[in-house]
Amino acid sequence: MRLFLFILFVFSCVTFAAAQDSVKVVRDDETGNPMLIGPCSREAFSDTSFAWWFNPEYEQYSPDSVTVKEIEYNFDDVKTTIVMGTWCSDSHEQVPRFFKIMDKAGYSASNVTIICVDREKKDSSGMVDSLNIELVPTFIFYKEGNELGRIVETPKQTMEEDIFEILTGDR
């Protein structure tokens, strides 16, 4: 039993270290600011280099509570992939709004994959190569491995209305 627990502990440490190394912070040649590249978690936006845009937009956004409630009832088994740029003003606006809606709807962070890209829409892992990304942010919603729909750059209505339409098949 001790050997099993030891192996489990070592595996957990290696997995955690690998996850930490998957996102890279590089300097944006255009602005000189830090830029995230690769898969990351929401916690990356708590760094002061990114919190200055994430936190105020998250706090100030007030999604429609009726639509959020409808999203809550329609989000079973849905996974979301976000392809974004920490250098992109639309990402600065839409990504915090998405998380505000998801938090209010009780959507688990484990269902969200975030991939940060450079200005050429490339990431260090090659994860976005097959996703046909032209503009960021792009929010892709999946159920049972099938794409339900996308929100590209900015929503057509509001973030919560567009999410609801994708989840219910009205889009």
DSSP letter string, 90-117:
HHHHHHHHHHHHHHHHT--GGGEEEEE-
For residue 57, give the amino acid letter.
E
Listed in sequence order, the residues at least 6 apart from 140 whose beta carbon sits closer than 8 Å to its beta carbon are 80, 81, 82, 83, 131, 147, 149, 150
Q: Global pTM?
A: 0.86
Cβ atoms 102, 112 nearer than 8 A: yes
- Give the model's pLDDT for residue 125: 87
Is residue 107 over pLDDT 50?
yes
Q: Which CATH number fits domain 2-168: 3.10.450.50, 3.40.50.300, 3.60.15.10, 3.40.30.10?
A: 3.40.30.10
Is residue 34 over pLDDT 70?
yes
- Give the model's pLDDT for residue 15: 35
- Give the model's pLDDT for residue 147: 97
